[in-house]
Structure 1
């Protein structure tokens, strides 16, 4: 397999293909990542979503409906714990555009976010300034978009964006990284023509007990669950469920969407869905598997 490694949207990417990508393929991938980042990154001062946070108005994007429809389902399933207006809460704890990592007072997100934000197939509109954070599912959405960009590439394709992975063609054996020891895995899974996404509190962590997975209702980091993994045909839904699984409504949403999953508590207990395809173990390194780094 040919490998192309690069950094984008604040994480490392690896694209594996049966044959080397052409220069045109690489340009198309780069252009799609830049387009998505320019529209949706709250870490860019020149992005459309940052402008929405300053001024309100309209953000024109073909991703608006698919992502915000999913956020509506996430919010309903988790009783408001997942909310796209959590951006200001993250910034208040130090996960801001400048990566200050200096925590101030915690800040809950506006509960009635759908009264402030509306959307169509082509755009999202904020009736008042409203900074959106699409981190609960945006990276998965971008992985799906890149797989579409590469739809004409023959043979096997694996797109891995910092642990959000989508596979086309031959199965990839992937290790599920232990959230407390990156040298180990809690299990392995074969992914074929589908996606695996994960999230963990040891990634994007700073300060004393601070990390990027917040309960939007309180503005505080979650404490019960340490790591989640979700398996679905598309990466966006897997990414969304991997976020929802930090809350009580996550398993019900996964069942409704047909997504299988694993999650681990902060004291080391593991739960899984009935049809979960992973082989689980709590010791060992998952030798022979592709490593999977949680976002």
Structure 2
């Protein structure tokens, strides 16, 4: 079994592969880094930053950006508006204006809650438009999408873990599935994904963290610290985990029923 670990996307990434029919793990790492450079909000030259800077105008976008923007619109719809890509102004107001390793910046008055994403973002035939004054952060949606796409590239028996958003393809080394930590236990996954969303790893003060509630434009107030979810794709797992975290322990399980394949709350 091949293994490759590296740091990217603000955390630890791991690639495992048994089937040698796909691209190499080194190529997989290079692709992750390329996507990070394209979609980070911390570089003015990234495609995402250039797109935000062009708010108000129709601009050409890459095939990958097109896919991510469409996934963001789908996430908004699936989550009843709780997964909202256009909360970047609120995130900046909360003090998360630069790479987390550099520390936070002073907070500011939060902006009004954003309008529904379909009113702010339009996508058509390789072109997209943000409403004037809007700005998006692809964040977790990008990680989940990248895990799904990279698993397709690496062959029929591989595991892709991008900072906790993972896709297990095939039956693993033993034929029973890929062993994955899930909450306080280990599970075996075959052609299935998992994602974890939490508020403690990126916290920089009392009540200040990276998970913005689009209903308030403030860091979410939730009694859950961490949610892990199993789903058919890493993108869906990422969406479901974030919704559950925002809903809190009283409503999370009810919302996940019929959507997720399993979950764990902390």
SS in structure 2 of the partner of residue 158 of structure 1: strand
SS in structure 1 of the partner of residue 97 of structure 2: coil
Q: CA deviation at 1:208?
A: 1.3
Aligned to 1:71: 72
C-alpha distance 81-108 of structure 1, shift in aligned 2 (>3 A): farther
The whole-number CA distance in structure 1 between the counterparts of 2:125 and 2:260 is 24
Aligned to 1:243: 242
5+ unaligned residues in a row in structure 1: which ranges?
178-184, 269-295
Q: How many residues align?
A: 252
SS in structure 1 of the partner of residue 63 of structure 2: coil
Map 1:167-246; keep pairs closer than 5 Å: 167-169=168-170, 170=172, 171-177=177-183, 185=184, 187-224=185-222, 225-246=224-245
Q: CA deviation at 1:139?
A: 0.3
The whole-number CA distance in structure 2 between the counterparts of 1:221 and 1:174 is 29
Map 1:130-145; keep pairs closer than 5 Å: 130-145=134-149
5+ unaligned residues in a row in structure 2: which ranges?
none
Aligned to 2:108: 104
Q: CA deviation at 1:127?
A: 4.0
Question: What is the root-mean-square deviation of aligned Cα atoms in Å?
Answer: 2.8
Higher alpha-carbon deviation: 105-114 or 162-171:
105-114
Please tell me whether residue 150 in structure 1 is matched to residue 139 in structure 2: no
Equivalent residues of 1:108, 1:217 under 8 A apart: no
Equivalent residues of 2:151, 2:160 under 8 A apart: yes
Equivalent residues of 1:42, 1:131 under 8 A apart: no
Q: 2:123 aligns with which of 116, 119, 123?
A: 119
SS in structure 2 of the partner of residue 86 of structure 1: helix
Equivalent residues of 1:198, 1:239 under 8 A apart: yes
SS in structure 1 of the partner of residue 53 of structure 2: helix
C-alpha offsets along residues 124-143 of structure 1, whole Å, 9 cap, x if unaligned?
A: 32242532111242101011
The two structures have a TM-score, normalised by structure 1, of: 0.74
Which is richer in helix? 2
C-alpha offsets along residues 81-137 of structure 1, whole Å, 9 cap, x if unaligned?
A: 321111111111111235441333333442233222101353432242532111242
The whole-number CA distance in structure 1 between the counterparts of 2:68 and 2:54 is 21
The two structures have a TM-score, normalised by structure 2, of: 0.81
C-alpha offsets along residues 25-62 of structure 1, whole Å, 9 cap, x if unaligned?
A: 24532443244224322122211111122222425132
Equivalent residues of 2:25, 2:154 under 8 A apart: no
